[in-house]
Structure 1
Amino acid sequence: MRKLVVMSLFVILVLAPGLVSSVGSALNDDVLGLIVFKADLKDPNLKLTSWNEDDENPCNWVGVKCNPRNNRVSELVLDGFSLSGRIGRGLIQLQFLRRLSLAKNNFTGTVNPKLASLEDLRVIDLSENSLSGTIPDEFFRQCRYLRAVSFAKNQLSGQIPSSLSSCSTLAGVNFSSNQLSGPLPAGVWSLNGLRSLDLSDNMLDGEIPKGIQGLLNLRAISLQKNRFTGPLPDDIGGCSLLKVLDFSKNSLSGSLPDSMQKLSSCSYLDLHGNLLVGELPAWIGGLTNLQILDLSGNGFLGKIPDTMGNLQSLQVLNLSKNTFNGVLPESITNCPSLSAVDFSRNSLTGDLPGWIFGLGLQTILLSENSLSGTIENPSSPSMKASYQKLQVLDLSGNAILGEIPWDIGVFTSLLSLNMSRNSLGGAIPTSIGELRAVNVLDLSENQLNGSIPSQIGGAVFLKELKLQNNHLAGNLPVQIGKCSSLTSLILAQNKLAGPIPAAIANLTNLQYVDFSVNNLSGSLPKQLANLPHLLSFNISHNHLQGELPAGGFFNLISPSSISDNPSLCGSVANRSCPAVLPKPIVLDPNTTSDSSSSGSFSPNLRHKKIIFSISALIAIGAAVVIALGVIAVTVLNLHVRSSTSRSAAALALSGGDDFSRSPTTDANSGKLVMFSGDPDFSAGAHALLNKDCELGRGGFGAVYKTVLRDGQPVAIKKLTVSSLVKSQEEFEREVKKLGKIRHRNLVMLEGYYWTQSLQLLIYEFVPCGSLYKHLHEGPSENILSWHDRFNIILGTAKSLAHLHQMNVIHYNLKSSNVLIDSSGEPKVGDFGLARLLPMLDRYVLSSKIQSALGYMAPEFACRTVKITEKCDVYGFGVLVLEVVTGKRPVEYMEDDVVVLCDMVRGALEEGRVEECVDARLQGTFPAEEAIPVMKLGLICTSQVPSNRPDMGEVVNILELIRCPSEGQEELQ
């Protein structure tokens, strides 16, 4: 019925417009026009639900504004409504429309020329759509009072219509970011009321016509990123009110016209990326309102004029990629507002000026010049505030001598430091570790000596470290493993010695590593194979030995990357490794304990460590042939003593709970394996008898904290699913797989202990408790900030994405299984434990593992639906909502049960989702992050598994939410 009404209105309006007047007051023209306009659209977000054809007037409709004098539609603003379809003829009925804005949608088709026939229309904005075709010539022949038009960011082609000059009322024109071509019509300069003209990012060509001086009211003009040639208009100085002039990224030639010195109001002058030549005239210093001056990428030459010091308002100065020579003018110190300078890629000479560091700049770029001299140490405490503002410093490619200032650490805000390709000597100062914000540190191709300071570990946000081509010696500091953000570690062509520390394997973001041409020795840490993002690892021309790490990147490593290491072996090295007989397993981890070391052990039990090597077994075998009877008696005695000792050890570790029956005589019971060595485990055994050391209990068992003899705290999970656990062989195989999984956001599995009746998993200890406690049980004055919560969500997402990449499903994600370390980073625990069960029975899983109501994906209740990684995605979505709202997945009220997903979804549909954010965060969270995060959580909890995103996609979406693209200015 509704469709029939709309079609009837369409017939009345479009096919028989003369009938409208005869209908009388029964039908409102504006209602007719808007309903017909809506009929041509797709509205996926139901933004236009308030548009009802039964209303007598549309003044209360979304996006509609009426003139109170005549109650007729004067404004239609539907920006960012996700609408699609064509802009139909219905809008032509809105005869009193003054402003039409349909920006940031997905409208297709061509520009309707009839829109300009609306007599009262002042502003039309169709930017950021998918309109195509040409701009109709008749569009501008019909306009009467049109003041602003924007077709920016569409797919329009063809030439700018010459009729544009006939629309004399225009003050703002924006056709940027299309595919317009051809010359700029000379008639455009006749629009003497024009204040803003933006034709940037098109394919316009030819010369810029003369006559621009007629635009006496012009404030801003942008022709950047086109194909204009020829000289700058020599009458440009006639635009005396011009504030913004951007002709960058064209092929303009010649010198700066003298008339430009009349542009005293200009604050933004950008001519970079052209073919301009000549000396920079002294009159440039007369443009005293300049804030941004960019003349980079041209052919300017000569000295930089001293008059630059007159630019009191200058904030950014970019003269890079020219052929300026001479010294930097010290008059620049008179520019108090300056924050960034770029003189790179010129021919500047003289000593590096010390005064440039005292200007309080954020960016200093002086690379690829011929500067010499030394870098002065900060001279006075009063200058410290200026140094602390500096974020980017690039002195690379000069002839600078001396040493790196010993107190380089005063530049505490530095994000990028590049001093490469100079002649710097001496040692790297230890204060380098005080650059805690630095992302890029490049000191390569100098003459630095000494060792890499251990303080480098203080640069915790370092992403790129480049020290190649120096004379550095000594060992690689293990503290480099603290630089967890490192993606590039380039130390080639030095004199570094000693082993590659295993801590390098903690740098899970590493992509490029180059240790070539050094004196490194020892074997490669096997954990390097776990680096997930490694793209290049060059260790050629060293003295490394042993077998290459197996798996991951090292299965495909190039032979040239490991060449000239005569003692390296493996298939890639084309050299077989010598046969290594397996070491015996050390049974009974409590053998070093005596009766006095743990009062809980029986004083009558004696512990002995029994080690059988391969040669011993051969000898025993030979002895059996010679004297079978004697050996049988001996083996029997050893077996009895061994089994008694192991049973006692297991009793101590289990606290007696699980060993009420007779001791086992299985020869394989009591096996301890530590993945990173074999520390003495017995010192912590008493913890399992002490309820005070219990950290918590879950579906798989209880967790206790204990401390090894070397002082290392660990968490021990005593499994209580013994009846479900696989055989020892399968158990060990699965646990070892889990032990190889390494990620900064996963709790590390460090080892295990096995008997038939007792299984222990040994984990790293994470000190700051679970996310559940921080959200629901922590003190009210110590709540998690929005920044902390976002990092926890992102870190958890990354950990799950890594697990899924390793073909491991967590099955048991919940806030009590997300732990927080001392730096606030999340670490997900209990992952993959379902692999220890004999079958992935969903009912066992739902009862034993998915014990926390609200996290379990709906497919657990359906036998016909396959259990996949999408179960984890569902649990993650619930966790996201829990973190943002501060509420439990299911909360029991007096008379009701509130399911978190349903509550947030309902609030979103009612347009009040922002109210769901944890009340303790009110006023301190960015809505532009919190709302998209909650929407993502709801998508992850879709009832249909295929509708949920992969965790890799989730990580990408979260990173986009954290770093949203900059918004574009709307047409004013």
Structure 2
Amino acid sequence: MSTANSSLFLFLLLLAIFPCIKSDELEILLKLKTSLQQSNSAVFNSWVSSKNLCNFTGITCNSDGTVKEIELSHQKLTGTLPLASICQLQSLDKLSFGFNSLYGLLSGDLNNCVKLQYLDLGNNMFTGSFPIISSLSELRYLYLNNSGVSGVFPWKSLENMTNLVSLSLGDNHFDPTPFPNEVVKLTQLSLLYLSNCSLEGRIPPGIGNLTELVNLELSTNNLFGEIPSEIGNLKRLWQLELYYNQLTGKLPVGFRNLSSLQNFDASTNMLEGDLSEVGFLSNLVTLQLFENQFSGEVPAELGKFQNLVNLSLYTNKLTGPLPQELGSWAEFDFIDVSENLLTGPIPPDMCKRGTMRGLLMLQNKLTGEIPSSYANCLTLERFRVSNNSLTGTVPAGIWGLPKVNIIDIAMNQFEGPITRDIENAKALGQLYAGNNRLSGELPEEISKATSFDLIELNNNLFSGKIPASIGELKHLSSLKLQNNMFSGSIPESLGLCRSLSDLNMARNLLSGPIPSTLGSLPTLNSLNFSDNKLSDVIPKSLASLKLVILDLTNNRLTGQIPESLSIEAYNGSFAGNPGLCSQNISYFKRCSRDSRISKDVFTLILCFAVGTMILLVSLPICFYLKKREKDHDRSLKEESWDVKPFRELMFSENEILDSIKQENLIGKGGSGNVYRVALSSGKEFAVKHIWNTDTNGRKKIRSTTPILGKRAGKSKEFDAEVQTLSSIRHVNVVKLYCSITSEDSSLLVYEYMPNGSLWDRLHYSNKMELDWENRYEIAVGASKGLEYLHHGYERPVIHRDVKSSNILLDEFLKPRIADFGLAKIVQANNGGKDSTHVIAGTLGYIAPEYGYTCKVNEKIDVYSFGVVLMELVTGKRPIEPEFGENKDIVNWISCKITSRKSVLSIVDSRIPEVFKEDAIKVLRIAILCTARQPALRPTMRSVVQMLEEAEPCKLMGVLISKDDSTKKMESKEHKKVNWDA
């Protein structure tokens, strides 16, 4: 056959074959479309059999018409992937489905995709293990990060992939494994992302073989030991992330060779030694080494770094001064060197380029004045220099920075006034200025800083009157003015601060009466007016408050102590007022009967006259309100409701709506009410009714419900609670049955908890004493609920408001974690850290790091749970008057554990002697949970294990030997607490 005839024959043969290829590949693509059809994505509009498949959206073909690439990332796709079918596309070299919502098992044989060079299945919701891919020897890019796959990863499959450039497997719950040797043989790697994928053991010296690496991320694993010196071979490295591990030792000699490094984060480890090697990394942009044990001085070379914009070195043992040129070269953003031993002045030019957001240097030994340059730093959001030895006056402009939300200058030696500039601080929420030498009058303009929720000016030299307009601070929750020289009367307007929970004006020169308006504050739980010159009678309105702390001692109060305040809880709250009398408190003179009768008669006549007038005026109002209530109930039924079930429902929408009426109301909150709904079947539910409109300025009433604590929630809290609870299934997490929403309001239907909250049982209720066995079971159950949130959920959930009032009890006293209005699902690409500028939580339960860093993780819940354990053991509230000023239960216990005898005295006297040893075991766990450094706190998984090992030894009324269990508990090094240390 001639050459011409041969060519013609091949051409005709190819023409015959191509239609078959296209036909087969079209069928494969249409099958893929079918498996993803529920996505309703516009991407598939072009995927029709009448068109050329090479014109399908996301499809790229070779010159011969065969499919070369499928690029469908970021397309909001849902459904399952038919991998076996896809791999029949024999020319396929790129398969990209990243950043979708694909789910199900990755079944099928990927080994048939032999020409694949690019595979991206990351950021999806697959389940099960990842298949073996040994045949994909041409693969160059493998992205499986945050894909949902779990189990044993087929590391040996990587042996043949010597051309791999990018390997991204992080943020998956693989079975724990030592650092795989197969990885360090992939010498072409440019990107290696193995964060949060259960690696353990040491980083192998072979990591130094990967000399092409630009990005190396190994954070949030269980790696320990020293950083190998061979890491210095990675001279092209741009980013190195090792945070949240258990690495020890010094930065290795030769680390300075990483001359291209721009981002280095080895925070929250146990690294030590000095930072001299870092001084050579002149291209650094961000340096984060917080929560380690580094010592020595901060290298002076850092002051010369031209690109450095973020420096976090807090919680180390660093000494000496900071480089004075620090941050002056680049658009500097953030510095946190808190909790070190630094000396010398604050560098003056970190906001030279006008971009700085955070200056945090608290708890050091810094001296000198605040540089005046920061008065012009209009971008500053957090300014914290407390607990140093700083002096001079605070530059006036700092008080009025427009974006600052925290000013913390407490525990220094500052002098001078708070200036009128503070009226410009529209974002200022928290002002900590206690324990200084500040003086002058508090400016009236402070009321124009309307974002305030906390003001602490205690232990200063302020004088003059408290501004009458202070009641305009509607969000104020804590006001501490004690130990100053304020004079005049207490402003009546404080009664308008509806969020106020802590009010302390002790040891001033205040005079006049106590405003009766304070009795209308729904959330006030601490009131201290001691050591002033207050006069007149104690307002009866104070009896309506639910105060944990009440101190009116050493004033000039007169008249009868209201009977409702003459109770044991307030013993000693009125001493030093010789003009007071009482019928119930023995050390006060008894009130004169005659004077009391005459007063009572006068009061009775006055009340009768006023009551008659009120009755005449209120009758039409009552008729109007009753009509409006009926109209409201009727309007609920007339609204269009959307029901979203999350569990099998045993009721109809109308059954719930019919029960949303006044007689079923059991609690009120800032944006809605809580109702107890009893169905004809006998089943009970708790229904939270949330208004979707803005609730600013709405009257807030302390919630009395045991259902979900005091927070009814705004729309963002509704979204947070629904997002979290709708997908959680655990016996120790409160059940959400459904949401019922309309345009104007929303209903959340929960299981009803008849025994209220743990707070009620421990601190308020006399109906049901909790014995130790019940307390222990509640601790274990609640810990398992939190363990599920942190470890068993698809992505970790940080509750952020763990407290005894958010642990609800069913009819059998089994606990449920509740109130997820503050919960946050940890995003995998955030490394388990939550960045927030709002301090969430409840006083007494908040972890210390939440006050000064934006980066938090699940360890804040561990801290709060430790406080709950302390409540269970001691019977004390998190904040009690006996703890002393500015101290909570954690500080109180730490001061008490000086000997075994003192430890036993901490245990609640209501716990029988036979169980006190068991209670101490739980106290040990509580102390571990409340360690100041988050890295030293156990995980909730460890907490559950420790609590189970601390099971009470008295079972079924029979006391058994405790020697074995005690030895078992104390034999594990991480569980030891030396009571005599």
TM-score range (shorter-chain normalised) is 0.5 to 0.7
Q: CA deviation at 1:245?
A: 0.4
TM alignment of 1:122-137, pairs within 5 A: 122-127=141-146, 129=148, 131=150, 137=155
2:367 and 2:191 map into 1 onto residues whose CA distance is 46
Change (3 A) 1:492 1:89: farther
**Residue 270 (1) aligns with residue 288 (2):** yes
Query: Gaps (5+ residues) in structure 2?
Result: 1-20, 54-58, 60-69, 640-655, 696-714, 728-735, 758-798, 807-816, 832-981
Match of 1:717 among 611, 618, 623: 623
Match of 1:948 in 2: 749
Q: Give, in whole Å, the separation in 1 of the partners of 2:88 and 2:718.
A: 34
1:368 maps to 387
2:471 maps to what in 1?
Answer: 457
Please tell me whether residue 99 in structure 1 is matched to residue 119 in structure 2.
yes
Which residue number in structure 2 is paired with residue 430 of structure 1? 444
Say which SS state the counterpart of residue 717 (structure 1) adopts: helix
1:472 aligns with 2:405: no
Shift of the 719–349 alpha-carbon distance from structure 1 to 2, 3 Å rule, reads closer
Distance 1:488 1:718 in 2: 37
TM-score after normalising by structure 1:
0.56
Change (3 A) 1:431 1:187: same
Separation in structure 2 between the aligned mates of residue 128 and residue 364 of structure 1, nearest angstrom: 39
Q: Could you report, residue by residue, the CA deviation over 1:802-840 in whole angstroms, capped at 9, with x for unpaired residues?
A: xx9xx9952699xxxx99xxxxx8688xx99xx9xxxxx
Conserved 8 A contact 2:332-2:351? no
2:792 alignment counterpart: none
1:557 aligns with 2:569: yes
The 2-side partners of 1:497 and 1:437 are apart by 29
Secondary structure in structure 1 of the residue aligned to 2:455: strand
Residues 1:376 and 1:195: Cα distance change in structure 2 (over 3 Å) = closer
> Offset of 1:216 from its aligned partner?
3.3
Change (3 A) 1:412 1:46: closer
User: How far apart are residue 487 of structure 1 and its match?
Assistant: 2.8
Aligned to 1:325: 343
**Relative to structure 1, is the Cα distance of residues 558 and 127 closer, same or farther in structure 2, using a 3 angstrom cutoff?**
farther
Question: Does the 8 Å CA contact 1:463/1:488 hold for their aligned counterparts?
Answer: yes
Instruction: Please give the secondary structure, in 2, of the residue aligned with 1:300.
Output: strand
Aligned pairs for 1:311-322 within 5 A? 311-322=329-340
Match of 2:884 in 1: none
2:310 to 285, 292, 295: 292
**Shift, 1:152, TM fit:** 2.1
1:345 has 2:345 as partner: no
| Residues 79 and 614 of structure 1: CA distance in aligned 2, closer, same or farther (over 3 Å) | closer
Q: Distance in 1 between matches of 2:722 and 2:377?
A: 41
Q: Structure 1 residue 389 and structure 2 residue 403: aligned?
A: yes
Are the aligned partners of 1:374 and 1:400 in contact in 2 as well (CA < 8 Å)? yes
Deviation at 1:102, TM superposition (A): 5.5
Contact 2:502–2:527, Cα closer than 8 Å, also in 1: yes
The corresponding residue for 2:176 is: 157
Can you list the C-alpha shifts for 1:425-456, whole angstroms capped at 9, x where unaligned? Answer: 23222222121112221101112223322121
1:431 is paired with a residue whose SS is: helix
Quote the offset at 1:166 in angstroms: 1.4
SS at match of 1:503: helix
CA contact (8 A) 1:521 1:545 kept: no
Q: Is the 8 A contact 2:232 2:255 kept in 1?
A: yes
3-state SS, counterpart of residue 505 of structure 1: helix
Which position in structure 2 is the counterpart of 1:969? 829
For residue 240 of structure 1, report the CA deviation from its aligned partner.
3.0
Q: Highest Rg: 1 or 2?
A: 1
5+ residue gaps, structure 1, are 1-23, 585-610, 617-670, 689-703, 705-714, 722-746, 750-760, 762-768, 778-803, 820-824, 836-856, 885-923
C-alpha separation in 2, matches of 1:352 and 1:106: 53
Q: Which residue of 2 aligns with 1:484?
A: 498
Residue equivalent to 1:189: 208
Amino acid at match of 1:234: V
Which residue in the other structure is 2:237 paired with? 218
Change (3 A) 1:73 1:445: same
Which SS does the other structure have where 2:325 is aligned? helix
Counterpart amino acid of 1:969? N
What letter matches 2:681 in structure 1?
A: V
Q: Which amino acid aligns with 1:368?
A: N
Matches within 5 A, 1:421-820: 421-531=435-545, 535-542=548-555, 543=557, 546-548=560-562, 550=564, 557=569, 559-561=571-573, 567=580, 569=582, 678=611, 680-681=613-614, 684=617, 715-717=621-623, 810=662
Question: Per-residue deviation at 1:581?
Answer: 11
Equivalent position SS for 1:939:
strand
Report the Cα distance in structure 1 between the residues aligned to 2:472 and 2:162, rounded to whole angstroms: 66
CA deviations over 1:599-639 (Å, ceiling 9, x no partner): xxxxxxxxxxxx999999xxxxxxxxxxxxxxxxxxxxxxx
Amino acid at match of 1:457: G
Residue aligned with 1:424, SS: strand
Q: Is the 8 A contact 2:447 2:470 kept in 1?
A: yes
Residues 27-58 of structure 1, C-alpha deviation per residue, up to 9 Å, x if partnerless? 999979x99xx9xxxx9x9999x99xxx9999
Task: Rate the CA distance shift 1:91–1:576 in 2: closer, same or farther, 3 A.
Answer: farther
The answer on whether the counterparts of 2:365 and 2:388 sit within 8 Å (CA) in structure 1 is: yes
Could you give the per-residue CA deviations for residues 74-117 of structure 1, whole angstroms, max 9, x where no partner exists?
54647675957x65565556656643435464845x66555785
Please give the alpha-carbon distance, in whole angstroms, between the structure 2 residues aligned to 1:130 and 1:522. 71
- Report the Cα distance in structure 1 between the residues aligned to 2:447 and 2:241, rounded to whole angstroms: 45
Distance in 2 of aligned mates of 1:507 and 1:195: 58
Look up the match of 1:655.
none
Return closer, same or farther for 1:123/1:481 CA change in 2, 3 Å cut-off.
Answer: farther
The one-letter code of the counterpart of 1:318 is D
Query: 1:173 & 1:352 partners in 2: Cα distance?
Result: 43
Q: List per-residue Cα deviations over 1:570-604 (Å, max 9, x = no partner).
A: 768898986989999xxxxxxxxxxxxxxxxxxxx
**Counterpart residue type for residue 215 of structure 2:** S
Provide the C-alpha distance between the structure 2 equivalents of 1:927 and 1:99, rounded to a whole number of angstroms.
38
1:92, 1:118 within 8 Å by CA — same for their partners in 2?
A: no
CA contact (8 A) 2:303 2:326 kept: yes
Deviation at 1:185, TM superposition (A): 0.7
* Partner amino acid, structure 1, of 2:275: L
Q: Deviation at 1:256?
A: 2.4
One-letter amino acid of the counterpart of residue 829, structure 2: E
CA contact (8 A) 2:553 2:575 kept: yes
User: Matches of 1:106 and 1:537 in 2, distance apart?
Assistant: 56
Q: Describe the SS at the equivalent of 1:400.
A: strand
Matches within 5 A, 1:921-936: none
Letter aligned with residue 472 of structure 1: F
2:425 maps to: 411
Structure 2: which amino acid aligns with 1:276? F
1:116-171 CA-to-partner distances (Å, cap 9, x unmatched) read 857547223253748356x6552432434442222325364242122220123433
Q: TM-score, normalised by structure 2?
A: 0.55
257, 263, 275: which is aligned to 1:256?
A: 275
The alignment of Structure 1 onto Structure 2 pairs a total of residues equal to: 662
- Three-state SS of the structure 1 residue aligned to 2:373 is helix
* CA-CA distance at 1:265 after TM superposition: 3.2
* Mapped partners of 2:608, 2:162: distance in 1: 86
